[in-house]
Amino acid sequence: MATWTWFHKLGSPPHVYRIAGRFAPWFGWGALLCIVYGLFGGLVLAPPDYQQKDAFRIIYVHAPAAWLSLSCYTTMAVAAFVGLVWRMKIAHAAAAAIAPVGASFAFVCLATGSLWGRPMWGTWWEWDARLTSQLILLFLYLGYMALRSAHDDLQRADRSSAVLAIVGVVNVPIIHYSVYWWNSLHQGATVMKADRPSMPSEMLVPLLVMFLGFTLFQLWVLCTRLRAEILERERNARWLQEQIRDGAR
C-alpha cells in the first residue's frame, strides 16, 4: 500500500515540482565538486597511458557522456511507457524534459570519440557498429523532440513521441553489446567488466568520480527542466496560481 501511495504521489505535478526543487541544488553542487575533482585527477594527476599517451585522457569526458546518453534514453523510454500505460502526465513531462539532455550527451560522446579516433585510428569517422548505433541513438533523440514539436495538441504529442521512445529503446542493448557481436574498432569494456577493471587505480578513481559527477549533473538538469516543463503544462492550474500568490506576499 505504501508503495502505491508513493507511486501515485509521483503523478502529482505540485508534489514533483516541490521535490525537484528541493533536490536540484544538492545535485548541482555535488556535480560541480565531482567534476572538478575528476577533471583534475584525470587530466593532471593520472599518468599517461603506455600506448595512447595523453590522448587517453579524453575518456574522462567521453565515457561518462556515452554512459549517460544510454541511461537518459532508457529513463526517457521508461517514463514514456509509464505515461502511455498509466496516463500519467508527469511521466510524459519527465520524458520531454530528459530528451535534450540525452541528446547533448550523445552528441558529446560522438564528438569526443571522433577527436580520439583521428590520432588513434587515422580517421575522424568509421561506420563501425558501435559508432553507427550511437549515431542512430542521437537521431532517435532528435526524432523524439521533432515529433513532439510537430503536434500542437499536447496529448497527441505525448502519445506519438512515447511510442517512438519505447520502440527506439531496442537500440540501447545493441550499442552496449555491439563490440561483442560484431568485429569492431571500438575497444571493449575497461571498467564495467565481470572481473576487475583494466585500469590502474590512479586512472580509475578519477573516471569513477566523473561518472558520478556526470550523473549528478544529469539529475540537476533534469530537475531544472522538469520544473520548467511542469510550469508550462500547469500554467493555468489552481495550485500554481496559489503558489505564485503566496510567493508574492
Give tens-digit pLDDT for 33-49.
999 999 999 999 998 88
**Quick check: 243 pLDDT over 50?**
yes
CA-to-CA distance for 30 and 209, rounded, in angstroms?
11
**Residue 2 domain flag:** no
CA-to-CA distance for 15 and 57, rounded, in angstroms?
42
Q: What is the pLDDT of residue 112?
A: 94
Contact 63, 38 (CB under 8 A): no
Number of domains the chain contains = 1
**Quick check: 165 pLDDT over 50?**
yes
CATH number, domain containing residue 57 = 1.20.120
**Quick check: 6 pLDDT over 80?**
no
Residue 193 cell numbers, joined = 567488466
Contact 128, 174 (CB under 8 A): no
**Arithmetic mean of pLDDT, 187-205:** 68
**Residue 8 domain flag:** no
Contact 119, 55 (CB under 8 A): yes
pLDDT digit string, tens, across residues 58-92: 999 999 999 999 999 999 999 999 999 998 999 99
**Residue 3 domain flag:** no
pLDDT digit string, tens, across residues 200-242: 888 899 999 999 999 999 999 999 999 999 999 988 778 777 7
Q: Tell me how far CA of residue 214 lies from CA of 28, 84, 130, 241, in angstroms.
A: 10, 29, 21, 35
**Residue 87 domain flag:** yes
